[in-house]
Structures are given as structure tokens and as C-alpha cells.
């Protein structure tokens, strides 16, 4: 599968504007598909405001919850009720109060062998393949309508860390990552690049002065995981003013 080389950069004023722009894009992707919709969420702190917004009446009342399915692009290998659990955060902020339980698809860290993230990865791979209805991807029929992404200080995205063999995976859909490169230092489970790429839109949310240094490197197209993550459809980088490099037009 070839990923599309174009990425669109959209700069907004601050984290509140960023969450609103992201929520509008989530809605637009849902509205563009009159059938079953699949959205792949992300962890970390960046999507918190977006998730809170989706639970507010302005958005909640416009989402056809019965036909939208929610997945997660990577997970910390901790139990579902651990505060570090990515899907746990999304559930607490909007899914549990808005979405039917059957439409929430967490990475099953609890049911898998607690010492083996790869076993957990294999279970989630099967769940994704059964949802998709095939075990190979067809570029004309993307797995996800929307994939949300964040960026870490080392340029990682999902749980794909610089130099990790998981970055080169082309066969498996989901893999275990025994060692994280940044906090929290717990093993991870992550979707691989070709699977994350199988979407109509990949949407990065990057905000705050602490993202300024890594964003400067990414915009210069340094070879880092977040630069390699692209959709086969549209790739959008939603940035706020504090994260932008000084010489970025429109700052
Ligand atoms: C995770 C994430 C990870 C995250 C980035 C950005 O499990 O930590 O999915 O890829 O998106 O590290 O994290 P922040 O949003 O907290 O900066």
C-alpha cells in the first residue's frame, strides 16, 4: 500500500480552537459516510479537549452513535482501568456516556497474557480483520474513516518509536512494543504504519510550546515516525500557534 505524500498543514490560534477544528473534522468524516463509520482514536493528552467536546450537546446530538465504531491506534500495556490506559481516557471523557458499548473496540490488555504484548496485539489484529471482513487491505476500501494521531517529543506517533523495528512492519496489523522510548515506560501495543494509513483521513493534533522543537524537525521532513505516518487518503496536521516554528508562514 502506498501512502499519499501530501500533508496539509492547518494552523489555529490555541488548543481550544484546535479541539474545535478537530471535532468539526470528526463530524465531517462521519457525515461523509452514510454507512458504518470507523474512527481510530489516539492517546496522550493532546486529544483530551476534543474528546470532551464530542460529549457536549453541540456535537453529541449530531453524531449517529449507533453506526459509529471507535478503535484506538495504540495502547499502554496496562489494565483497562489503569489511569494510563488510552482507551480508558476516551471512555471516561466521552465514549461511555455517548457510544453503545458494542461500538467501543479497546485493545484487550486485560484478556491477553499480562506478560506478552504481542499476544494482545494478535487479538486486536483479529478484531480489526473481522470488523473489516478481510485479512488484507484493499486500498479502494480503507479500514478507517478517520485516524487521530499525536506526536511525542522524540517524533514518535502511536507507539511507533524512532529506530524501533515495528516501524518497518508490513505484514502484521498490530504489534507489541516491549520498550517505550518516552514516559510512561510501560510496554505498548500499536497499529502498524500500513494499517494506520488505511483511512480516508489521518488527523494529527499538535499544540503547545513543548511541541515546538519536535514540530520544527518534523516540518523539515526529518526521518522520524511521525513523518512516515501518512494516510492513503488525506493527511492533515492541525497545529496551534505556540507549537509552530518562528519562520512558519501564517504564525
Ligand atoms: C501514547 C500515545 C502517543 C501520544 C504522543 C503525544 O500512548 O502516549 O498514543 O503516541 O499521542 O506521545 O502525547 P501527548 O498528547 O501527551 O503530547
pLDDT, tens only, 55-92 = 999 999 999 999 999 999 999 999 999 999 999 999 99
What CATH number did the domain enclosing 226 receive? 3.40.50.1360
Q: Whole-prediction pTM value?
A: 0.96
145 lines ligand 1 (CB under 6 A): no
In a domain, 3, yes or no: no
Contacts 24+ apart (CB under 8 A), 100-107: 100/65, 100/66, 103/65, 103/66, 103/68, 103/69, 103/70, 104/70, 105/69, 105/70, 105/71, 105/72, 105/131, 106/72, 106/75, 106/80, 107/72, 107/74, 107/75, 107/174, 107/189
Which is the closest atom of ligand 1 to the Cα of 156?
10
Q: Give me the domain span that covers residue 13.
A: 8-243
Classify residue 1: in a domain, yes or no.
Answer: no
Q: Does residue 160 sit within a domain?
A: yes
Q: Is the CB of 88 under 6 A from ligand 1?
A: no
Q: Ligand 1 centroid vs 182 CA: distance in angstroms?
A: 10
CA-closest residue to ligand 1 atom 4: 44
Q: Does the beta carbon of 74 lie inside 6 Å of ligand 1?
A: yes
- Number of structural domains found in the chain: 1
Per-residue pLDDT of 136-162, as tens digits, reads 999 999 999 999 999 999 999 999 999
Amino acid at each position: 500500500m502506498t501512502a499519499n505524500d501530501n500533508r496539509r498543514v492547518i494552523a489555529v490560534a490555541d488548543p481550544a480552537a484546535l479541539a474545535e477544528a478537530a471535532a468539526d473534522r470528526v463530524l465531517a468524516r462521519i457525515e461523509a459516510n452514510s454507512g458504518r463509520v470507523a474512527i481510530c482514536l489516539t492517546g496522550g493528552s493532546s486529544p483530551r479537549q476534543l474528546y470532551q467536546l464530542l460529549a457536549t450537546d453541540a456535537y453529541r446530538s449530531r453524531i449517529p452513535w449507533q453506526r459509529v465504531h471507535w478503535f484506538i491506534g495504540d495502547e499502554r500495556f496496562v489494565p483497562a482501568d489503569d489511569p494510563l490506559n488510552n482507551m480508558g481516557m476516551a471512555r471516561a471523557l466521552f465514549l461511555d456516556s455517548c457510544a453503545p458499548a458494542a461500538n467501543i473496540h479497546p485493545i484487550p490488555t486485560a484478556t491477553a497474557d499480562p506478560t506478552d504484548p504481542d499476544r494482545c496485539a494478535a487479538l486486536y489484529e483479529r478484531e480489526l480483520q473481522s470488523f473489516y471482513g478481510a485479512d488484507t487491505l484493499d486500498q479502494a476500501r480503507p479500514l478507517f474513516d478517520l485516524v487521530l494521531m499525536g506526536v511525542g517529543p522524540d517524533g514518535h506517533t502511536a507507539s511507533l518509536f524512532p529506530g524501533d523495528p515495528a516501524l518497518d512492519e508490513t505484514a502484521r496489523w498490530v504489534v507489541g512494543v516491549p520498550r517505550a522510548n518516552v514516559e510512561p515506560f510501560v510496554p505498548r501495543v500499536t497499529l502498524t504504519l500500513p494499517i494506520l494509513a488505511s483511512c480516508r483521513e489521518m488527523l494529527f493534533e499538535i499544540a503547545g510550546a513543548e511541541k515546538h522543537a519536535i514540530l520544527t524537525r518534523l516540518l523539515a521532513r526529518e526521518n522520524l515516525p511521525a513523518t512516515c505516518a501518512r494516510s492513503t487518503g488525506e493527511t492533515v496536521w492541525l497545529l496551534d500557534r505556540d507549537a509552530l516554528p518562528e519562520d512558519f508562514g501564517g504564525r
